[in-house]
């Protein structure tokens, strides 16, 4: 499936995602209820929920007023691409998705140090503790003391630090998460995200804002 567009290749780790797109494309009005999708595609409730969440988040499907799911224009276009390239369903049922969150004030102020939190949501599906590296890079801002090594369990992980913007009109915070192999000699990327924040010369930082992304872990 190397010829697929990048956005579709990013769905290959989600079992059932490609099948759902093609299934909805074959339905009247390009829509169906969740029970019919699970039954006809033989998807578990867990697998269906995971695929649905990713497809909704990425803008491929949406929920109608009757709680059925329908393709968006982007989803219809993607389903046609998948059919053109043949059977492209992939994924690993052992892949666990967890949300990555960056929390900081709505605005940063030059010369003012603000709190910065990096969090990973809890997951009951995460059965074993794992050593992770959470790398944080900033552009046009100085990062406070930060220990990038952490142990990730089924509970939420929250890492605290600070950020002080330089005299530019914005600052960028980039977070990448890696899982360390059992032997400690190999890193595997789990995902990441970045946010750009407005920097003010003076004024109020405003309330804290949370920005979210998705991480994928193999268990």
pLDDT at residue 1 greater than cutoff 50: no
Q: Give the separation between CA 192 and CA 205, rounded to whole angstroms.
A: 25
Q: Out of 20-34, 43-57, 82-96, pick the least confident.
A: 82-96
Provide the domain count of the chain: 2
Q: Which of 34, 55, 85 is the last residue of a domain?
A: 85
| Kind and range of the H or E run holding 81 | helix 73-85
| CATH number of the domain bearing residue 116 | 2.60.40.10
State the average pLDDT over residues 27-53.
Answer: 91
Task: Tell whether 146 and 209 lie within a shared domain.
Answer: yes
Q: Give the separation between CA 118 and CA 160, rounded to whole angstroms.
A: 7
State the average pLDDT over residues 180-189.
Answer: 79
pLDDT at residue 124 greater than cutoff 80: yes
In a domain, 104, yes or no: yes
State the average pLDDT over residues 24-45.
Answer: 92
Q: Domain of 30? A: 6-85
| pLDDT value at residue 94 | 62
In a domain, 158, yes or no: yes
pLDDT band at 2 (very low <50, low <70, confident <90, very high): very low
Task: Tell whether 80 and 135 lie within a shared domain.
Answer: no
Q: pLDDT tens, 95-104? A: 788 899 999 9
| pLDDT value at residue 214 | 85
Q: SS3 of 73, please?
A: helix
Largest CA distance in the chain: 58
Q: Which residues contact 70 (CB under 8 A, 6 or more apart)?
A: 24, 29, 30, 31, 61, 62, 63, 64
**pTM for the whole structure:** 0.60
Q: pLDDT tens, 146-164? A: 999 999 999 999 999 999 9
In a domain, 63, yes or no: yes
Task: Tell whether 132 and 194 lie within a shared domain.
Answer: yes
CB 17 within 8 A of CB 11: yes
pLDDT band at 125 (very low <50, low <70, confident <90, very high): confident
pLDDT band at 91 (very low <50, low <70, confident <90, very high): very low
Q: Which of 114, 194, 180, 110 is nearest to 150 (CA)?
A: 180
Task: Tell whether 104 and 206 lie within a shared domain.
Answer: yes
Mean pLDDT (the chain) is: 88
Q: Which of 38, 60, 85 is the last residue of a domain?
A: 85
| CATH number of the domain bearing residue 42 | 1.10.10.10
In a domain, 90, yes or no: no
Task: Tell whether 100 and 40 lie within a shared domain.
Answer: no
pLDDT at residue 87 greater than cutoff 60: no
Q: What DSSP letter does each residue of 15-48 carry, written as one string?
A: TTHHHHHHHHHTSGGGEE-HHHHHHHHT--HHHH
125 pairs with which residues across the strands? Answer: none
Task: Tell whether 111 and 200 lie within a shared domain.
Answer: yes
C-alpha distances out from residue 56 to 67, 74, 122, 133, Å: 13, 11, 21, 28
pLDDT at residue 26 greater than cutoff 80: yes
Task: Tell whether 78 and 133 lie within a shared domain.
Answer: no
């Amino acid at each position: 499936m190397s010829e697929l567009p990048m956005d579709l290749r990013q769905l290959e780790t989600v079992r059932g995602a490609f099948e759902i797109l093609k299934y909805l494309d074959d339905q009247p009005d390009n829509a169906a209820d969740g029970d019919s999708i699970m039954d006809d595609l033989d998807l578990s409730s867990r697998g269906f929920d995971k695929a649905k969440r990713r497809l909704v988040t990425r803008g491929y499907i949406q929920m109608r007023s009757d709680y059925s799911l329908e393709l968006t224009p982007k989803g219809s276009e993607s389903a046609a691409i998948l059919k053109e390239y043949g059977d492209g369903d992939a994924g690993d049922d052992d892949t666990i998705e967890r949300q990555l969150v960056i929390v900081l004030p709505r605005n940063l102020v030059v010369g003012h140090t603000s709190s910065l939190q990096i969090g990973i949501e809890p997951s009951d599906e995460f059965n074993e503790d794992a050593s992770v590296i959470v790398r944080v890079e900033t552009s046009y801002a100085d990062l406070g003391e930060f220990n990038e090594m952490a142990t990730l369990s089924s509970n939420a992980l929250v890492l605290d630090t600070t950020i002080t913007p330089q005299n530019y009109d914005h600052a960028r915070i980039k977070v990448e998460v890696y899982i360390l192999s059992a032997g400690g000699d190999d890193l595997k990327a789990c995902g990441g995200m970045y946010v750009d924040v407005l920097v003010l010369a003076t004024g109020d930082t405003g309330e804290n804002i949370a920005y979210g992304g998705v991480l994928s872990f193999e268990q």
